[in-house]
Structure 1
Amino acid sequence: MDEAYEVVTDVAEIARLNKQLATQLRKVLPYRESREITYPSNLHTGTVYFETSAGASVRAWSPRVAPGKLENFFLFADPGSTNRIEIEVQLTFPAGTYNRRAAGAFVRDGSGDIFVAHRGNLTKGTAGLPKAKVFREFAASVVEAADKPKSSRVILIAGLKAPDLADQLWEFAKQAREVATQLGEERNSDAGQSTGGAPSGGTGTGGLGKPRGAGAGGQPASPADRQMKLRAYFDEYSGEGHTKGHGGGKRTVEHGAVVRALELYLRNKGSSQKAQAIDLAIVATSRVDLFEVKTSARTTDVYTGVGQLLIHGECIKELLGLVVKRHLVLPGEPKASHGRAISGKANITVVTYQKKGSRYQFTGLN
């Protein structure tokens, strides 16, 4: 059964939850300074709370009450400096009157637990980035939530009462900046092509009369072309259906964290690709390693993961003309009989993960 998620829309409850968020953050950010904070369209002097009293690129947070909104700026900065601080990411919640324009949201899962979430509103420079592409990059953590009277896609970041709330918030801030930079570069590349500039490699559509994944003369396309085709496949697939989570808010947050850790571990093996339907694909010159992450080794999750790997793997193989190696990532070994079937006829490698402190360790990667 799909997990039900609901955005908190009552402004009084939003204000209460924002105070709870502030209380949690003040526990780990005790050092206070008055600093200038800058962002694309504004500059103001505000109170900044630092994790330590000295150092470089220290985690910091600045809350602010503005007309119609409750602002939370997440920062990396040097305590004691006079330099202006640039915002990494902001979580803004509506105040006074509810609206969906704010970047932040509080989301309740089917168990009643509250999660801090982001609506995908990221900018690079002064321009906003396409939400569909932002959600593509955070696909492992995206859920669809009731947002009366509509529904909204949001990125679950962390449980409001999670002991590692601060770690997850600043990890999201770092990833959000990386995503904004990447999408900003894509936007500039697309603009260059539309004005006659040099192409960045591949259109993702395939030439008329050529096999998919092939370049001029029917030869295999360059790695850049293949990556663009895979990205196009992701874009097309991500528009189908809706993501409602992975069995609860905590599991969804863990799912996103495992995918991020896996990508970080493997990124030097090839080009990292993600999608709404695909957790992670590492694209190299001669092969694609396809990963599906599940946060339990229950029979239903194993069945689902195997099916996703088989279907998505065939789609990618058809598009790219590359060998696809499939990997099912679980928190423990499946049943022995399932393990034999998975590694036998299905030809899927089982990878297990274990959390050690704030990090994940993987067994079975080759």
Structure 2
Amino acid sequence: MNWVGRYQTRYDLQITVELNTPYQNRVDRAGGFFVKDIDSGQVYLMHSGRIGGGTKGVGRLAFLTWLDEVPDEVVDASGHFKDGFIVMPVQGVGAAASLKRYLEKIAEFKEWVRTGAAGTPSFERKQQKFLAYYKEARGRRKGRRSAKIDYVSRHGDVVDRLNAWRSGHPVPKGQAIVKNALIDLGVGTENALSEIFEVKTSCCRGDLYTAIGQLMVHGSSSSCKRHLVIPNEVDALPNDILLTLKLQDIQVIRYDLKPRSVELLI
């Protein structure tokens, strides 16, 4: 059991939240779990955001709505999605600073609930709005990712497959297929692009926002054909994202990752 909270000399010790972690496998009853960043190798403690406390109004949905933050999404060893908040790295200078912030937020939320604000019509409307957004962001997944495939590290494979596909089609006279540190793939001259492709390894909002920005910055010409290349892991993108793609004339290309290959769904 990992009970944590504020230390106060004037009162009895109060548990702010339980950061219990399972000994093995995935146990969703335990709010805490460990994740590993595949780029840096750093291990982090995460928490589902599920909190209790005996006070009416204290719960995960209310906390997420009050915090106004969407949990980060990770993939477990079986390839299934799970979300939560990064509480702290397990090592490093100042590692506990983010833990302190998270605990303070939970404590502030519980104090706020005690004022009765969680039961007001305005907060209930905000909660329903957040729930609708959260379901949209999390409810469109197609099954699960393969536990054997590391999507992020396969970014280069997707770009190579895209390059091979585009190389098999005619390129306008005086132009060539280009790739540099700023763009994943493009067609054009040294000074202007007629086509641009941006590859992302997930369909989370953060990646989609970044991709749209990159396409608009580096494919700023009105005649440039912009392409967003994403994994085939959602049935449909959020409506506001779809509207933006339509308004900015950005075409979507999907792909499936195989253990040893990439399939472009074109």
* Between structures 1 and 2, the one with greater strand share: 1
Task: Report if TM-score (shorter chain) is over 0.5.
Answer: no
TM-score (norm 1): 0.34
TM-score (norm 2): 0.44
